[in-house]
Structure 1
Amino acid sequence: MNQSQSLHSKYAIVGAGLMGRLLAVALAQLGAQVNLYDQGGCDARGAAARIAAAMLAPLAESAITEDSVVRMGIHSLPRWKQLIDTLSTPVFFQQDGTLILWHRQDASEAERFTNHLEKNCLHNPQLTLPQKLNSAELRHIEPGVADRFMQGLYLPDEGQLDNRQLLDALLAELNLLKVNCHWNQAVDPEQLRANHQYECVIDCRGNGAKDAWSSSVNSLRGVRGEVVRLYAPEVKLRRPTRLIHPRYPIYIAPKENDVYVVGATEIESDDLSEMSVRSAMELLSAVYTVHSGFAEARILEMATQCRPTLKNNLPEIRVQKDKGLSDLIMINGLYRHGFMISPAVLDSTLELLASGQSNTALELGLSISSNFGKTDSTSSHKASLCA
């Protein structure tokens, strides 16, 4: 989107979670007028992005997700550094790889996992082969776990950021850019379309948009995730660490100031009640097997949230153009990969707003559908959107 076009553009964004904030900041930086609406407060306590580990791990995730999501993750890693550098407030960002560990009894499962990653690297040359670590190499890379594990797997190009720092930094940027933020105000995007104030309305409500996606074959649902935040000054892990286990494969994401985000659970449920005893016991038991220092950790928070997930578990951008109404873009289905892929979704959306098509989406396989017909990585965008 060029600067002259943006200066005369006015947009409404509904939903101020990760995607809504990224878009609002990006459009405002380009000079557009932006109104941002959210049914919650500015602290993003109702957003799925607040309850996340924010790991940027396309190779690790390639074991359980589609190639298109992996490509979006590869695209997004360097973009995160660029996006964070434009913010006035610092955000913790690290690209020091991912460590994979397993106990001796799970060696066969670890071998299958390693073979899967190596196969994925052969299919996608942008991925870097995982490095197998012996005891000495493991001690050099992550000395804190070397007494309990004799081998590991290192994925060198992966990273992470601090999700809560980022949400706060984006909020600060919204204020600096004088974005009109309407907090604690539930708004129907269709009503905003009808008042003709905006060239385009962008729906980033996540699970709040279930009704809007209910008529679609690719309907929207919530998938419950549970995380524990720990203060563990005795641990000193240097990078995100994942444990291969047949029942509860956990991840441990070290943030600044000795804070660790631990999670694993993924439950097909819209339940937002507190964490179950079983989940808490399994997470805490598993994390203790990784490092004994977690025995003296302090539990800062046990939190749950539902990740917005489409039927095929893939993200989608939907375009709606109707005579007499502002154009509508609906973004949803980022599932468990929100932080890993959101810069790719952001770039694709900005291209759509600028020209009605997105080469980035085509290259990465991000699905874009419209009331003019489905478009995907093998076809061209037909709609003229918000141009």
Structure 2
Amino acid sequence: MAVGTDLTSDVRRRTSDSLKIGIAGAGLLGRLLAWKLLRQGHRVSIFDRGSRAAELSAAKVAASMLAPYSEVVSAERCVFDWGRMALSWWPQELAALKELTGEHIDFAVEGSVVVAHELDKSSLNHFEQQLRSKVADCEHNIERIDQRRLADLEPELAERYRGGLFLAEEGYLDNGALLSALEMAISQLGGEWHEYSDVQYVEAGKIVLENQTYEFDWAIDSRGMGAKNQLPNLRGVRGEVLWIHAPEVNLRRPVRLMHPRYKLYISPRSGNRYVIGATEIESESMKPVTVRSSLELMSALYSVHSGFAEATLLHAYAHCRPAMPNNLPEIKCTKGVLVVNGLYRHGYLLSPYVVETALEMLE
């Protein structure tokens, strides 16, 4: 399967052979597909019910961790295999985006750390057992660490924890910067934006709005929850995240806290900013973050590092992530229409596999 290539050799001149492609949904998948198709020389129009800022997209409400080991414990093995592909795919695509737009996107694969309080060590042990049984062939990337090794990796955690797990092949990227850079790149490559366009349905070669129909060689439906009228098995899984500015906290890697009731994760950003999350609720509610969720997240956060006590809450976001019954992405291609959906909670981890598979189907 092909992955990212050098931008200067990848962009083709548009010829009479180039395709006219319409994309419904300008979330993560829609933007990545538009970016790749434009570089192949196709003519692309992108439709979204929100603006280019992606304020209505589930991709905006994410910690965007690249964590194939952590996620496979509660997922199919293919999530792990497809997720590992992302670790080599993203650096090439981010480099190409920077070459075109000049925008830097924080990205690192320096591993992640999993810890637990002494009373919750059984949760950590159970997590480790499940993980090793799922990925026995990659067990060398799962390291049980003591307090000294933890101090080498994340010194500020060693003051509170005696050890944990180090998962070497995990990382993160800055989703906000990525979505912004993709918008810029699509515009620079000649992509046509249709903002505030409420797509009614997508069919072979057509994207239908309330009062207008657009015709294309191919129509791509990447609307997430917006496609529920055409994907009856699609469901929403509510997720909530907090954005924190914590000048007294210095963590380099994503951190997960094992807990009997939920698993807190902390994903770093530049400038002592962190994205905090844990909630995964079988609900399609789009209400703002609840008081209960906020209290649970912030109390658990303080238990990880006392420096979070003086942190500033920048944002509290909630959204519904689209999921199929098996929690795996759906990629369906028939003549004139391509459907990509169902990234569930694995958006930034699985989107490289989904995008490359979809492009192969189009070819």
TM-score greater than 0.5 by the shorter chain: yes
What is the alpha-carbon distance in structure 2 between the residues aligned to residue 179 and residue 332 of structure 1? 22
The partner residue of 2:343 within 334, 358, 362 is 334
What residue identity is the alignment partner of 2:178?
A: L
What is the alpha-carbon distance in structure 2 between the residues aligned to residue 15 and residue 8 of structure 1? 22
SS in 1 for 2:326: coil
What is the alpha-carbon distance in structure 2 between the residues aligned to residue 278 and residue 30 of structure 1? 48
Q: Is the 8 A contact 1:118 1:129 kept in 2?
A: no
Q: What RMSD, in angstroms, separates the aligned Cα atoms of the two structures?
A: 1.7
What residue identity is the alignment partner of 1:229?
A: W
Q: Is the 8 A contact 1:14 1:37 kept in 2?
A: yes
Q: Is the 8 A contact 2:204 2:219 kept in 1?
A: no
Say if 2:274 is the partner of 1:274.
no
The partner residue of 1:148 within 155, 160, 167 is 160
**Alignment map for 1:65-144 (pairs within 5 Å):** 65-87=75-97, 88=101, 89-122=103-136, 124-125=137-138, 128-144=140-156
Which residue of structure 2 lines up, in the alignment, with residue 208 of structure 1? 226
SS in 1 for 2:252: coil
The partner residue of 1:24 within 8, 23, 34 is 34
Which residue of structure 2 lines up, in the alignment, with residue 63 of structure 1? 73
What is the alpha-carbon distance in structure 1 between the residues aligned to residue 167 and residue 246 of structure 2? 24
Output one character per residue of 1:83-138: Cα deviation in whole Å (capped at 9) or x when no partner. Answer: 1111022211111101000000111221111112222221x44x643111111111
Distance of aligned partners of 1:310 and 1:303 in 2 relative to their CA distance in 1, 3 Å threshold: same
Say if 2:196 is the partner of 1:189.
no
What residue identity is the alignment partner of 1:157?
A: E
TM-score by length of 1: 0.85
Q: Percent identity?
A: 41
Say if 2:43 is the partner of 1:43.
no
Output one character per residue of 1:283-339: Cα deviation in whole Å (capped at 9) or x when no partner. Answer: 000010000000000000111000001111111112233xxxxx1111111000010
Q: Is the 8 A contact 1:55 1:253 kept in 2?
A: yes
What is the alpha-carbon distance in structure 2 between the residues aligned to residue 265 and residue 272 of structure 1? 14
TM-score by length of 2: 0.91
What residue identity is the alignment partner of 2:174?
A: D
What residue identity is the alignment partner of 2:122?
A: S
Q: What's the offset of the Cα at 1:155?
A: 0.3
**Alignment map for 1:247-258 (pairs within 5 Å):** 247-258=261-272
Distance of aligned partners of 1:41 and 1:196 in 2 relative to their CA distance in 1, 3 Å threshold: closer
What residue identity is the alignment partner of 2:226?
A: G
Q: Is the 8 A contact 1:117 1:129 kept in 2?
A: no
Q: Is the 8 A contact 1:202 1:328 kept in 2?
A: yes
Say if 2:360 is the partner of 1:347.
no
What is the alpha-carbon distance in structure 2 between the residues aligned to residue 82 and residue 128 of structure 1? 26
The partner residue of 2:243 within 210, 229, 245 is 229
What is the alpha-carbon distance in structure 2 between the residues aligned to residue 96 and residue 283 of structure 1? 25
What is the alpha-carbon distance in structure 2 between the residues aligned to residue 76 and residue 351 of structure 1? 17
What is the alpha-carbon distance in structure 1 between the residues aligned to residue 178 and residue 34 of structure 2? 14
What is the alpha-carbon distance in structure 2 between the residues aligned to residue 48 and residue 128 of structure 1? 34
Structure 2, unpaired ranges of 5+: 3-9, 208-212
**Alignment map for 1:302-317 (pairs within 5 Å):** 302-317=316-331
Which residue of structure 2 lines up, in the alignment, with residue 53 of structure 1? 63
The partner residue of 1:199 within 189, 192, 217 is 217
The partner residue of 1:299 within 313, 317, 341 is 313
What residue identity is the alignment partner of 1:211?
A: N
Q: Is the 8 A contact 1:230 1:299 kept in 2?
A: yes
Which one is further off, 310-319 or 205-214?
Answer: 310-319
Structure 1, unpaired ranges of 5+: 322-326, 355-387
What residue identity is the alignment partner of 2:206?
A: R
Which residue of structure 2 lines up, in the alignment, with residue 374 of structure 1? none
Say if 2:24 is the partner of 1:14.
yes
SS in 1 for 2:251: coil
What is the alpha-carbon distance in structure 2 between the residues aligned to residue 199 and residue 133 of structure 1? 54
Q: Is the 8 A contact 1:248 1:286 kept in 2?
A: no
What is the alpha-carbon distance in structure 2 between the residues aligned to residue 139 and residue 30 of structure 1? 47
SS in 2 for 1:189: strand
Output one character per residue of 1:232-274: Cα deviation in whole Å (capped at 9) or x when no partner. Answer: 0100011000000001310000111111000000111110111
Distance of aligned partners of 1:196 and 1:269 in 2 relative to their CA distance in 1, 3 Å threshold: closer
What residue identity is the alignment partner of 2:219?
A: V
Q: Is the 8 A contact 1:233 1:297 kept in 2?
A: yes
Which one is further off, 332-341 or 83-92?
Answer: 83-92
Q: What's the offset of the Cα at 1:4?
A: 8.0
SS in 1 for 2:346: helix
What residue identity is the alignment partner of 1:245?
A: H
What is the alpha-carbon distance in structure 2 between the residues aligned to residue 225 and residue 196 of structure 1? 33
Q: Is the 8 A contact 2:205 2:337 kept in 1?
A: no
What is the alpha-carbon distance in structure 2 between the residues aligned to residue 34 and residue 211 of structure 1? 24
Q: Is the 8 A contact 1:101 1:241 kept in 2?
A: yes
